[in-house]
Amino acid sequence: MYVYKCVSIYSPPSPSLSCLSDHHNRPLPCVPLSESNPVVHLRETRKRRGSFVVSLSATMSACKDQDPRIHGIKTKIRVVPNFPKPGIMFQDITTLLLDPKAFKDTIDLFVERYKGKNISVVAGIEARGFIFGPPIALAIGAKFVPLRKPRKLPGKVISEEYILEYGRDCLEMHVGAVEPGDRALVVDDLIATGGTLCAAMNLLERVGAEVVECACVIELPELKGRDRLNGKPLYILVEYH
């Protein structure tokens, strides 16, 4: 297994954010480093040594952005202004689904990340998490569990309420669908404020599952949704500023 780190031709005395780009602001190539390399910058290294290191998420993002599939995916996502209400720029993934290659690339990128990580359950958030979650689950050999809006699931359910900007909402999951000790991946199409992902994680953790990571196709960074995830890893493919 390799961990990727972006480096410049001339190694600086200590890792810094400047290693992610050169003085022309061009992304630098990603080179594989073995996990035993002392400069590998996992989050726990920061805590253990107390020194400044570039976060894993920042470096993974820089390396990921060099994958040509990412550009192809981004070009297939339509941005619809003033929908569903004035002032909203809606990220429409239905146009991505119309392109078989871009859709497959999207699924492949997630599968490449999670295959071999012993994920036992993929939890998809209604509604567009149902599009990406099942093919990921099938490819990595995990079960798929839908997290639905109230009164959509028959039988006994467990619920988690969460606060929206102008009210409240709720996610529900079948009792027994997720078991203690399950390793869960939460999937949705987009993270904005992060409220829905938080509710999904709470729901899974209440039944004893370990949430390994959250995965979304799109992030709207200006809404700072990842700040609400209590440090839980978030993997995204495309950012819209």
Average pLDDT rounded to a whole number, residues 227-239: 96
Domain with CATH 3.40.50.2020 in the chain: 114-239
Mean local confidence (pLDDT), 80-84: 95
Lowest mean pLDDT among 150-154, 162-166, 200-204: 162-166
Q: What is the pLDDT of residue 2?
A: 40
- Tokens representing 205? 């953790």
Active site residues: 128, 165
pLDDT at residue 40 greater than cutoff 90: no
pLDDT of residue 224: 95
Cβ partners under 8 Å of residue 12, min gap 6: 18, 19
What is the 3-class SS of the chain, one letter each residue?
Answer: CCEEEECCCCCCCCCCHHHHECCCCCECCEEEECCCCCCCCCHHHHHHHCCCCCCHHHHHHHHHCCCHHHHHHHHCCEEEECCCCCCCEEEECHHHHCCHHHHHHHHHHHHHHHCCCCCCEEEEECCCHHHHHHHHHHHHCCEEEEEECCCCCCCCEEEEEEEECCEEEEEEEECCCCCCCCEEEEEEEEECCCHHHHHHHHHHHHCCCEEEEEEEEEECHHHCHHHHCCCCCEEEEEECC
**Using CA of residue 77, residue 94, residue 193, residue 119, what is the dihedral sign?**
negative
Q: What is the dihedral of CA 65, 66, 71, 72, to 10 degrees?
A: -120
Counting residues of the chain whose pLDDT is more than 70, the rounded percentage is: 73
d(CA 24, CA 10): 15
Q: What does the pLDDT look like over 97-130, one tens digit per residue?
A: 999 999 999 999 999 999 999 999 999 999 999 9
Query: What does the pLDDT look like over 3-38, one tens digit per residue?
Result: 343 433 333 443 333 333 333 333 333 433 333 333
Say whether pLDDT at 210 is over 60: yes
Fold for the domain defined by 114-239: Rossmann fold (3.40.50)
pLDDT in tens, 129-162: 999 999 999 999 999 999 999 999 999 999 999 9
